Amino acid sequence: MTNLAAKIPLPVQAAAMRGVFRLPAMLKRLIAGKPVTRDGQTLALDAQLLVKLTAASGINLTSNSVAESRAGMEINVDLLPSPPLDVTSRDLRMSTPDGELPARLYTPRDYAEPGPLLVYFHGGGWVLGSVRTHDYAARFLAEHSGVRVLSVEYRLAPEHRFPAAVDDALAAFDYAHKHADELGVDQQRIAVGGDSAGGNLAAVTALQCAQRGGPAPVFQLLVYPEVDFVTKRRSRQLFAEGFFLTDADMNWFEGHYLSPDDDRSDPRISPLLAGDLSGLPPAYLVTAGFDPLRDNGHAYAKALEEAGVSVSYQCQRDMIHGFINFAPLGGRFREATLEIAAALRAGLAYAR
């Protein structure tokens, strides 16, 4: 965040953000500028407005230090409105082979125990983010899907590089399965999901469960996941900068998450490169049109389908990376996130 933005009190910045997004579309367009079209797609007005505002304020996803980047993401959450959601939550700690993991369990109104559960992994490039930064996203998914959500505070890099987050994600699923009665959920209706880096962890968890045999998720919710650290596809260049997540950000995340000697083709890093994807649970995979990760996600959906996995793929062509975090702003962000919640509801409705 720039020095100018830092000098403006946070409540003032938050009020300004809320006010701008409540303006009539005509005024939003005046602020955002002419429509942006690339690769046959037109950026949603709400997304273009957000990009314009963040650029003007100097807000970046990553900065020189990990501490500054983490603090920035936490602060940016407070700039967003907090529309009320009829969801209760409680914090808990999960015992794992590597120690206790904090988590937060969200329960929608009228949830009938034992019901379905989504074990959720937040985004942030394996370096940033927390249960707190994704609190609204988890609440939103719980309320609009009717599914209980367990959001996991997995270990972050660079303090804990690969495979720490992978180990935590698998351990979190195993904990949920083992403690289903305690959590008030149906052991046979547990899904894994996440956004961005969290989508990667969800995909990797599903893959590892299939490979080992035994307890496994019945559904995977993959929101603009990173699935291939080896191949840089066309969207990586097309949307390298100017649309929230940048190519520089991705390089920054990789440099902190992985060590130089790590094999980028390891399926625990790049699930798209696994030799066998058969036997995986059904998946809903969504990408954003103006996202460097778009083509990787699409490639994974095709690979799953070719392996005989039931997969529903949706590209929100007018959206940017991270759109579920901006659902509190309403408009297209909320609409796109509602579709994800609907897919989760449908995916777990009859899963067994």
pLDDT of residue 3: 47
Q: What is the pLDDT of residues 44-71, one digit of tens each?
A: 999 999 999 988 877 789 988 999 999 9
Q: What is the pLDDT of residues 330-346, one digit of tens each?
A: 999 999 999 999 999 99
> What does the CA dihedral 208, 209, 211, 213 come to, rounded to 10 degrees?
160
Catalytic residue chosen out of the listed positions 130, 196, 235, 270 = 196
Q: Between 16 and 112, whose confidence is greater?
A: 112
CATH number of 89-349, picked from 3.40.50.1820, 3.50.50.60, 3.90.1150.200, 1.20.200.10: 3.40.50.1820
pLDDT of residue 157: 98
Find the mean pLDDT for residues 190-196: 98
pLDDT of residue 1: 44
Q: Is 321 a catalytic residue?
A: yes
pLDDT over threshold 70, residue 5: no
Find the mean pLDDT for residues 27-46: 97
pLDDT over threshold 60, residue 216: yes
- Give the confidence band of 323 by pLDDT, cuts at 50, 70, 90: very high
Q: What is the pLDDT of residues 131-187, one digit of tens each?
A: 999 999 999 999 999 999 999 999 999 999 999 999 999 999 999 999 999 999 999
Q: Is 256 a catalytic residue?
A: no
- C-alpha 7/C-alpha 9 separation (Å) is 6
Residues of the chain with pLDDT > 70, as a percent, come to: 98
Catalytic residue chosen out of the listed positions 144, 177, 256, 321 = 321
Task: Give the residue range(s) of CATH 3.40.50.1820 domains in the chain.
Answer: 89-349
Q: Is 196 a catalytic residue?
A: yes
How do strand 115-121 and strand 148-152 relate by DSSP bridges?
parallel
Model pTM score: 0.96
**Mean pLDDT across the chain, nearest whole number?**
95
Catalytic residue chosen out of the listed positions 135, 167, 266, 291 = 291
